[in-house]
Structure 1
Amino acid sequence: MSRKRRGSYDVEYMRIVVGLIRDGIGAKSLARRLGVSKETTREWLLSYRIGGEAALMG
């Protein structure tokens, strides 16, 4: 289910994943379901917390 675009994930995909984590789904559990590393999902969440949606764009 992972959606990659040219070696990186689509911003909309990252936004959805971050939203699910913020809604209470554990990063580790979600990462396993989506086939994404838990470190990646946590990095997305941290980036979002620091810089908002713009931080997910790179």
Structure 2
Amino acid sequence: MDYYFTDNEMIAYFVAETKSAGQELKPSEKRKIECGYAHFNEFEDVEYRKVSTVGELN
């Protein structure tokens, strides 16, 4: 995850799509994730990853 600093404050940007616990991803949701990997792979300073909980963002 990239962090940006302004006035000694750290800022992290992220996009989240939520699901209820235990729900399987639909094919369309899997394609969105695949597209995200392909898109953000083009940027050296951006990290894109799939996580299941907020705790995995650190």
Pick the TM interval, shorter chain: 0.3 to 0.5
Q: What's the TM-score, normalizing by structure 1?
A: 0.35
Q: What's the TM-score, normalizing by structure 2?
A: 0.35
The structure richer in helix per residue is: 1
**Quick check: which has more Rg, 1 or 2?**
2
